[in-house]
Structure 1
Amino acid sequence: MIFIGVFKFASCDGCQLAFFDISDRLLKLDIKIEYFLEAQSENIFNKFDIAFVEGSISTPQQEEKIKEIRKKSKKLITIGACADSGGIQSIRNFMDYEDVLKHVYPSPEYIKSLEKSKPISDYVEVDFEIRGCPINKEQLYEVIISVLMNKTPSLPEYPVCLECKRKGNPCVLILGQPCLGSIIKAGCGAICPSFNRGCYGCFGPIENPNIDSLREIFEKHGYGNLFDSILTSFNAYNKTYREKYEKEN
């Protein structure tokens, strides 16, 4: 039997819901969820074979907590854009922190948060990432089964464009919709392009994305001014985006 903990930091709780979506299948596995505040009233914070972590680190208390979770866990797996890349809340990382506080909170002096919202990997070692906003329940199940079988999970490494091709979707970028699909990791099933909307990049970048070429295409189609704001939304503080932004600025 493997013991699992599910934890949440700065996030919307959406990725944790994937556990409920596969709960009937989880009941048939040799696992025990020891800690999951969203799902059960009795929780044990002890040793874990796997710790699944949702959310970014945004407060000093969260920074200490994630280090404690890491010490107690054989494997730590992040779930979702917030945990993997800082989430939408990390948009503030590129703004003046004090200015953001004043515009969001009527009494900013009571807010005890970190200046930046950062992914889990900025603080502790992460064994595996499950991408998405929210994550795909089938990918979550694949990861759990893989750990039980002591094998590496098999998740898509190719871009969303390939999912569109498989579904027979016309290219929405050519049809006039700003779309990041060519540089974004697959896994969502190309939901947005299937409804004639461009990909907003929920699953974060593929390895070595050709960001500059896609920016040129956006500019050629007349919506180059949208590129950076779309790119740095769900995965604003992804290391790939961050390194490029810091190099350019």
Structure 2
Amino acid sequence: MTSKPKVAFFDFAGCEGDQLEIINLEERLLDLVEVVEVVSFREAMSEHSDDYEIAFVEGSITTPHDVERLEEVRSNADTVIAIGSCAAFGGINSIRNEQDFQTVTERAYGEDAAMFDDPDAELFDSFEQAQPAKAFVEVEYEVPGCPIDGEEFIQTVTAILQGGDPSLANHPVCVDCKLAENTCAFDRGEICLGPITRGGGCDATCVSQGTRCWGCRGLVDNPAEDAYSEVLQEYGVTTDELLNEFTLYWSWQREHGPQADMQEVEQ
């Protein structure tokens, strides 16, 4: 009888909401631990081990120390899986990427921001841009979302353990909206990113609940940009309004593309 694969969870710059979604699986999580051995999971246990085959990484990479930790995780793991929007493509943290870094630090630290100009100041060294895990190391799989969908997480892990390929769906959220018979968010007067956001895992939950798609699952591969432009023109959405929507999750992904990997990214 073979031993159970050892898995570990690691958090970087993020809210750790994705790990909470995993804990909230409750009974399903108990089924999962029947087939894997969790050796490190700060949200759920105090024990820690660097002996693991599968590593789940949450949060964006924002400091040189983050890079060192991530590279160590990568060196220990056979498989690395980015969970959540921040780890997969920069996510919410990348809002700052299109802003002046000095302005960002002043907003965050107030009067203390001046210490960033002092080489003797004992402050952490932050990158000017928040970046996903794949900007620095090879990442085998991703489970996007803010937060992730628990069922999609289970399906991904199950496929990996069975030797399968947990490929992400490659259709826009609009497909899920049509299946759910939702009224289009544009018809409700809202700017929706559903036509170019990856569907499949969220089941168009936001639109089904009366709001719009915010783009938390990232850009779908090869989005139908021309068709989306026609929709925007039809509903009178301006370029400035649209760009403002794109900065919520996609500041890194807009620059590097939905399928960017570490070989394509300048560190």
Superposed CA deviations along residues 42-94 of structure 1, whole A, max 9, x for unmatched, are 111x2322100000001111010000000000000000110011121212111
What is the aligned-residue RMSD (CA, Å)? 1.7
- Aligned partners of 1:129 and 1:27: how far apart in 2? 22
TM-score (norm 1): 0.91
After superposition, the Cα gap between the structure-2 partners of 1:213 and 1:232, relative to the gap in structure 1 and judged at 3 Å, is: farther
* Alpha-carbon distance in structure 2 between the residues aligned to 1:189 and 1:231: 21
Q: CA deviation at 1:189?
A: 1.6
Aligned equivalents of 1:243, 1:75: Cα separation in 2 = 23
Question: Counterpart of 1:237 in 2: which secondary structure?
Answer: helix
Deviation of residue 100 (structure 1)?
Answer: 1.4
| 8 Å CA contact 2:12, 2:66 repeated in 1 | yes
- Cα deviation, 1:10-60, whole Å, max 9, x if unaligned, reads 00111111221224223333211101111101111x232210000000111
Matched, 1:7 2:10: yes
* Deviation sequence 1:139-184 (CA, Å, 0-9, x none): 1001111121111115422111111111111222233221111111
Match of 2:195, SS state, is: helix
Name the CA distance, whole Å, in 1 between partners of 2:100 and 2:226: 26
2:89, 2:132 within 8 Å by CA — same for their partners in 1?
A: yes
- After TM superposition, the score normalised by the length of structure 2 is 0.85
Output the amino acid matched with 1:117: A
Write the distance in 1 (CA, Å) between the matches of 2:96 and 2:225.
Answer: 22
- Equivalent runs, 1:169-180 vs 2, <5 Å: 169-180=182-193
Q: Is 1:139–1:155's contact at 8 Å kept on the other side of the alignment?
A: no
Measure, in 2, the Cα distance between the counterparts of 1:23 and 1:153: 22
Match runs of 1:111-150 below 5 Å: 111-150=124-163
Partner of 2:244: 229
In structure 2, the partner of 1:74 is: 78
8 Å CA contact 1:179, 1:200 repeated in 2: yes
Q: Which consecutive residues of structure 1, in runs of 5 or more, have no partner in the other structure?
A: 245-249
Give the equivalent residue in structure 2 for 1:247.
Answer: none
Aligned to 1:153: 166
Question: After TM superposition, which residue ranges in structure 1, 4 or more long, deviate above 3 angstroms?
Answer: none
| Inter-partner Cα distance in structure 2 for 1:96 and 1:215 | 29
Aligned mates of 1:117, 1:243 — CA distance in 2: 13
Work out whether 1:209 is the aligned partner of 2:214: no
Q: Is the 8 A contact 1:18 1:140 kept in 2?
A: no
- Residue 206 of structure 1: SS of its match in structure 2? coil
Q: Which of the numbers 188, 204, 207 marks the counterpart of 1:193?
A: 207
How far does the alpha carbon of each residue in 1:201-221 deviate from its partner, in whole angstroms, 9 at most, with x for none? 011111111335424533442
- Give the aligned residue type for 1:74: D
Does the 8 Å CA contact 1:54/1:80 hold for their aligned counterparts? yes
Secondary structure at 1:196 match in 2: coil
Aligned to 2:119: none
Deviations 1:91-115 (A, max 9, x none): 2111221221122212122353111
Distance 1:52 1:235 in 2: 22
Moved more, 122-131 or 212-221: 212-221
Partners of 1:235 and 1:80 lie apart in 2 by 13
Equivalent AA in structure 2 for residue 233 of structure 1: L
Aligned ranges for residues 79-94 of structure 1 at < 5 Å? 79-94=83-98
1:104–1:135 Cα change, 3 Å = same
